Structure 1
Amino acid sequence: MVAVSHSAADQDALDVGALGAVVRRSRQRMGLSVEALAARSGLSTGLLSQLERGKGNPSLQTLSRLAGALGTQLVLLLQSAQRHGEPVVRADARPVLPDVDPGEDEGPRPVRELLTPDQNLPLQVIRTVMPPGFSNASRPFRHLGMESVHVLSGRLDVVIGEVRHELGAGDTITYECSQAHWWLNPSTSDETVVIGAVTPFAG
């Protein structure tokens, strides 16, 4: 849990220099200029430029608006800043990622934990626990990059385009993400646990 007081940049809570580096890298990964990020967040270009240089004392409201403009949550933005430059993610400190577009599905949702120290690195490693019967067939993914998925336990069906691949514990699949793809846990009683390495996609 990130400790914050009236100012998110309190010396005991957050290194503003690290925060600025995370914001700059996130903005560049999304292909945004400072001006474009200012327009998306409703913040001034001067404030953003100052923050990216590691200066200033941003409020929680400012950081919340900034996180939304960067497509993340405030807590994840702060955690990324706290871990900036730290290569280890401890087992009891894994950030839980927000659900990915659940739509109208009211069933149990997968739990996704980030295993890499920064949400904005060129590569993300994610541990996913899928409940029995879970499928995102109604909302398949499609984005740039590569993905490699290893099944730790249970069974996993991965459908890429029109081709279905059935995997069991110990199996690994690697594929281009530019084709529509979706996952299914075919079991009606057991969870499926997978580790996935993926190139993050912006927006």
Structure 2
Amino acid sequence: MTTKTTDRSHDLTDDIDVVGQRIRSFREEKGMSLRKLAEQSDLSVGFLSQVERGLSSIALSSLRAVAAALGRPMADFFAQPNSPEKEPEGVVFTLNRAAEHTERVVSGGRHYEMLSARVPGLVLEPMLVYIEPGGVKEEASSHAGEEFAYVIQGELSYEVAGVTHRLGVGDSLHLRSNTPHSLHNDTDELTVVVSVVTPRLF
């Protein structure tokens, strides 16, 4: 299987800006100070200020805390998804063509490429995840749902319930997400993973 190697730097900057701008917009809508948001999300004022100004990206685990403090679903912080193709009444499906634009999201040194449009009634979140080398290891977290990861390029360090598992190309891992877990690319090469999670993140 081949992986696209096109330059994504412009997309990454745009996505980081979108998340930061929406955090600020929702915070101001709610009449909440940056300090109050920091207290409720257990993040520092300085870090949140950098995220709002597009100077730093935010990990999904941290964004969940921000979303909860602001009373917003995760999807509100990202660009609107592609529209699904029209389907016959009673049939629920999406079809993504390789040549079509794919929604992209950036968070904490990871680039998420959505493989499915949003359709009511579908709960899986299929993605290609590009994990930059040398990223900061996140604290293990747990949440509702399930996660599946299949490595197609590089290596991945996946911690589950305090035990670290090294995944290489062709390896996969499937878990209930209420088990504390985290993943990390501790190599000096890009890691690419096919990931499927429930419920949808974005």
Give the TM-score, by structure 2 length. Answer: 0.54
Matched, 1:195 2:191: no
Q: Which runs of 5+ in 1 are unaligned?
A: 1-40, 43-67, 103-108
Matched, 1:132 2:133: yes
- Aligned Cα root-mean-square deviation (Å): 2.9
**Counterpart of 2:84 in structure 1: which amino acid?**
R
Matched, 1:97 2:100: no
Residue pair 2:94, 2:119 contacting (<8 A) in 1 also = no
Deviating 4+ runs (over 4 angstroms): none
Give the TM-score, by structure 1 length. Answer: 0.53
Residue pair 2:125, 2:200 contacting (<8 A) in 1 also = no
Give the aligned partner of residue 148 of structure 2: 148
Distance of aligned partners of 1:168 and 1:89 in 2 relative to their CA distance in 1, 3 Å threshold: same
Q: Deviation of residue 71 (structure 1)?
A: 3.2
Q: Deviation of residue 74 (structure 1)?
A: 7.5
Tell me the SS of whatever aligns to 1:141: coil
Q: Deviations over 1:105-153 (max 9, x none)?
A: xxxx111111012176310101111111224423x33111111100001
Residue pair 2:75, 2:201 contacting (<8 A) in 1 also = no
Which has the larger Rg? 1
Give the aligned partner of residue 64 of structure 2: none
Tell me the SS of whatever aligns to 1:195: strand
Distance of aligned partners of 1:166 and 1:75 in 2 relative to their CA distance in 1, 3 Å threshold: closer
**Counterpart of 1:196 in structure 2: which amino acid?**
S
Give the aligned partner of residue 178 of structure 2: 178
Identical-residue share of aligned pairs (%):
23
Mapped to 2, the partners of 1:180 and 1:194 lie a distance apart of 20
Q: How many residues align?
A: 126
Q: Deviation of residue 97 (structure 1)?
A: 2.3
Distance of aligned partners of 1:185 and 1:198 in 2 relative to their CA distance in 1, 3 Å threshold: same
Matched, 1:71 2:74: yes
Tell me the SS of whatever aligns to 1:193: strand
Q: Which runs of 5+ in 2 are unaligned?
A: 1-28, 31-70, 87-92
Give the aligned partner of residue 114 of structure 1: 114
Mapped to 1, the partners of 2:180 and 2:118 lie a distance apart of 26
